[in-house]
Amino acid sequence: MTSTPTNPTTTTSPDAAAAEVAERIRGGRNFLITSHRNPDGDALGSGLALQGLIRAMGKSATVQVRDGFGKALHNIPGASDVEVTDHLPSDYPRGLDAVFTMECPEVERTGYGVLPGPVVNIDHHLGNTMYGEINYLDLDAPSVGEMVMQLNRRHLGVPLSRDVAIALYVSLATDTGFFRYHNTTLRAFEAAEELVRASVVPGDVSLWINESSPAGAVKLLGLCLSTLELTAEGRIATTILPKRFFDEAGASPEDTEGIVNYGRTIDSVVVSALLKEIDDKSTRVSMRAKPGYDVQKVASLFGGGGHAAASGCTIPLPLAEAKERLISILREII
């Protein structure tokens, strides 16, 4: 399989693509599910939910990711069995009927490079490169987990277990900012209703996602916020995360989740960015924007992507230089 498949689906309708996904599941026996590097609630929740549905159909499915994930997400049923590894299975692709890539606009974002074999690409990001043999893309979906719900509701018909419902709710709630962001549409509330009817307790999920951080994560947040700077008359907020902060806070890379959002909460700010030092030659950038501003266009300049309101990329410059370069670009778009 290459990033430009020989015979990709040409279907543009999300529901028609979902029907193709269902047909592939029914026709196979053994599947691999993965997501983007540093998986978040949507990537992990949607993958575990899909795994649960496939297993309920009497088939085999394994969830594997390239990087670890935050402590809170370990509360998702099945998360403890997710394989965190930099190697594909020894029988891949020969022993698998398909690999599902969840929430990956480009196949390279899995961290495994170009994937051989049949790839089923399930995503809701603008700029998806349509690299799969099947491309189930829905730009209007509030989360990839909600797309899995649509797949099941319309085509698979598997009764929702409580464990699958919890995984789907984590996907939906985290990607909508617990129903605060502009992707909180009627579809999101309809999905939430269905999941609550399937025994999800929203307060329980919110407690272990939003109020169960390790002490190191809170200390890391404090160190990052101490670097907060406002530019462009207070419209751009930047925070930096040098590698040494992890040791100083007793934190891990998984503890960075959500830090970028704090700059966005400032009343004058329209774009917030967190710059994380990778090494002395490269910097990882996460960006969040308020309505009317498109940071996906900025991320695409450096080979990254995401949504208009939430995107990321890697800038091939040291931390200080990357910050200067990013601010100069952001000044132009605002």
Q: What is the pLDDT of residue 128?
A: 92
Domain match, 283 and 174 both: no
Asked whether residue 287 is assigned to any structural domain, the reply reads yes
Q: Check whether 71 has a pLDDT greater than 90.
A: no
Last residue of a domain, which of 147, 181, 209?
A: 209
Q: What is the pLDDT, as a whole number, of residue 257?
A: 87
Residue 9 lies in a domain: no
If DSSP codes are grouped into helix, strand and coil, which group holds residue 23?
Answer: helix
Asked, for residue 185, whether it belongs to a domain, the answer is yes
171 and 58 inside one domain: yes
State residue 271 phi and psi, 5-degree precision. -135, 130
User: 61 and 175 share a domain?
Assistant: yes
Does 7 score more than 90 pLDDT?
Answer: no
Pairwise CA distance, residues 70 & 145, whole Å: 18
Q: Is residue 41 located within the same domain as residue 190? A: yes
Contacts of 217 (CB under 8 A, 6+ apart): 70, 249, 251, 255
Do 248 and 154 share a domain, yes or no?
A: no
Which residue segment(s) compose the domain that 175 sits in?
A: 14-209
Q: Which helix (H) or strand (E) holds 288?
A: strand 282-289
When pLDDT is cut at 50, 70 and 90, the band that residue 90 belongs to is confident
pLDDT value at residue 203: 97
Q: Using an 8 Å Cβ cutoff, are 156 and 22 in contact?
A: yes
For the stretch 150-159, pLDDT in tens is 999 999 999 9
Provide the mean pLDDT of the chain: 93
* pLDDT tens digits for range 296-319: 999 999 988 888 889 999 999 999
> End of a domain among 189, 209, 229?
209
Residue 8 lies in a domain: no
Domain limit, last residue, from 164, 190, 209: 209
Distance CA 200, CA 14 (A): 27
Q: CA 132 → CA 42, 64, 88, distances in Å? A: 20, 18, 17
Report yes or no on 6 lying in a domain.
no
Q: Is the pLDDT of residue 4 over 50?
A: no
Q: How many domains is the chain partitioned into structurally?
A: 2
Q: Please state the rounded mean pLDDT for residues 115-137.
A: 93
CATH (domain of 280) = 3.10.310.30
Same domain, 45 and 170: yes
Mean pLDDT (whole number) for 122-144: 95
Residue 5 lies in a domain: no
288 within domain boundaries: yes
77 in a domain, yes or no? yes
Q: Quick one: 46 and 149 in the same domain?
A: yes
- Convert the pLDDT of each residue in 276-291 to its tens digit: 999 999 999 999 999 9
Token pair, residue 53, equals 């549905």
Are 237 and 158 found together in one domain? Answer: no
Percent of the chain with pLDDT over 90: 86
- Whether 103 has a pLDDT exceeding 80, the answer reads yes
Give the pairing type, strands 30-35 and 98-102.
Answer: parallel
Higher pLDDT, 99 or 8: 99
Q: What DSSP letter does each residue of 57-106 carry, written as one string? A: TT-EEEEEESS---GGGGGSTTGGG-EE-SS--TTTTTT-SEEEEES-SS
Q: Are residues 58 and 77 in the same domain?
A: yes
pLDDT band at 2 (very low <50, low <70, confident <90, very high): very low
Identify whether residues 169 and 221 lie together within a single domain. Answer: no
For the CA atoms of 279, 297, 305, 236, what is the dihedral angle to 10 degrees? 50
Q: Which residue has the tokens 């967190």?
A: 274
CATH number at residue 22: 3.90.1640.10
DSSP state of 315: E
Q: Which residues contact 147 (CB under 8 A, 6 or more apart)?
A: 14, 18, 46, 122, 124, 136, 138, 141
Same domain as 243, residue 99: no
Of 4-8, 13-17, 228-232, 314-318, the one with minimum mean pLDDT is 4-8
Whether 47 and 63 share a structural domain: yes
Judge whether residue 41 has pLDDT over 50. Answer: yes
